[in-house]
Every structure is written in C-alpha cells, then in structure tokens.
Homo-oligomer: A and B are copies of this chain.
Amino acid sequence: MNSPIKVGVLGARGRMGSEAVRAVGEAPDTELVAAINREDGLTGLLDGGAQVAVDLTHPDAVLDNIRFCVEHGIHVVVGTSGLGTPELATVRSWLADRPEVGVLVAPNFAIGAVLSMRFAELAAKFFESVEIVELHHPKKADAPSGTAARTAQVIAQARAEAGLGEVPDATTKELDGARGADVDGVRVHSVRMTGLVAHQEVLFGTEGETLTIRHDSYDRRSFMPGVLLSIREVGSRPGLTVGLDALLGI
C-alpha cells in the first residue's frame, strides 16, 4: 500500500471542516497533518508537509487560501462557495505558473447528488414527461433549491438538444401554484417539512412506465465520501477542475 496522502483542513472548526477532520483522520489512505482555523495562518500546511489542502472556510478567505497553496505546490480541494467565473479565471492564471498543481472546485460533494444530476441528464431525452420534487427542512429560505434548479436546467438542455418539444400538460383549470415553478420548461415542486433534511426526486414518464431518481441526504457527513474521493484524485488532475462529475467518470 502507498503511504497515506498528507492532508491539511482549512476551516477545521466549522461544521463541514470538523467533519472533514474526522473523515481524513479515519480513512486508511489519508493522514491529517494540519487542522487550521481562521486565526492560525497557513504555514501549518507547510510545517505538516501537506500534499493536499481542503478548503471549507468562507467566501472572503477562499481565494487567498487557494493562492497560497498553488504557490507552495499544494493541491487544493475547494468546498467553499463564492467562486464565480471571474474568480475561477484568476485561479487558472495562478495555475498557469504552477502547471503541476491541481485545484478541484466542487459546489456539491454528495456523490449521490452529483450522480442524480448526471443520470437525470442522461435519461432526459428518452422521456416525454419530466418533473422534479425537492423536499427540505422548513428553515430553507429559497424555493426551489439550487440543486433542483440546476437539475432542471440540465434536463431542459438535454431535451432541447434531442429535439424534444414541450412536456404534455392538459391543465386548463389550475389553482395558483399547483403545477409548480417553471424552470426552463421543467416543473419543479418544493416541499418544506419539519423532520426532513434534503431530498430530491426526478420523475420521468413515457408510455406505460416511469423512472424515478431519488437522492436523500440525511446528514452533512454525506459530503465526506466525495471529499475523500477528491483528495485521492486531485493530485493526478493538474490544473482547474470544476465539479465532482469529472472524477466520477460517467
């Protein structure tokens, strides 16, 4: 067996960071060499000899963290949000000087969520009908969820490329809102309910059959298998990679 990958976690005391600290410590092929918080500074990564840094900090801090790592030849797995198109271009420019370094930016580390979206994209062209039902705890502020909206967009694009027309719908008498939100022609329904965590169902229908792809996330630990997969893979993927999809090979 190879020696474990040396990992530093940035944002180690946060909700996600503390889970990452645990997961990296428990996995047999990774070793935690630095657990760094906002007040610590980043030199701990160098002291520990980190090969990979996992950034689970804050939109304000993430870009500086990435810069430091790239300059010091440390691969980075980024779970912090806030990297838009201009920020990603900046990261690419840093990487131009250090072509051996890998940076992986993933908006969602839950492998099940990423697979759901990809399967939905692959299935889309074979079904006349499609709708999405997403279900979350009642403290969520936005409806639909970002994941549901992106899934609808991906499906809509696949339908358009396959030349599919509108989803059939004979509704003539609707109580306002019953048929859900329209995201690029795909209906999305948002359920908010005490007891639930984060769940999504994509339903496809054609003559005589339906296909349902359902993802249930019960716990923020659901991100950890994706974080570990990213840690294992980022070193062999120099340059910038956006999205976990690339690592899943489908």
The A168-225 residues at the B interface (CB cut-off 8 A) are: 168-183, 187-197, 203-225
Chain B residues with CB under 8 Å of A188's CB are: 175, 178
Is A151 interfacial (CB 8 A cutoff)? no
Q: Does B193 contact A189, Cβ atoms closer than 8 Å?
A: no
Chain B residues with CB under 8 Å of A197's CB are: 218
What is the CA–CA distance of A106 and B24 in the complex, to the nearest angstrom?
41
User: Among the listed B128, B140, B175, which residue makes an inter-chain contact with A171, where contact means beta carbons less than 8 Å apart?
Assistant: B140
Q: How many residues of A contact B (CB 8 A)?
A: 78
Is A111 interfacial (CB 8 A cutoff)? yes
Q: Which residues of A contact B (CB under 8 A)?
A: 110-113, 115-116, 119, 122-123, 126-131, 133, 135, 138-144, 149, 167-183, 187-197, 203-225, 248, 250
Q: Which B residue sits closest to A19, measured CB to CB?
A: B208
User: Among the listed B123, B195, B225, which residue makes an inter-chain contact with A210, where contact means beta carbons less than 8 Å apart?
Assistant: B195
Q: Does B180 contact A177, Cβ atoms closer than 8 Å?
A: yes
Task: Give me 7 A-to-B residue pairs in the complex whose CB atoms sit less than 8 angstroms apart, sorted by A's number.
Answer: A139-B168, A176-B182, A194-B205, A195-B206, A196-B205, A209-B217, A212-B216
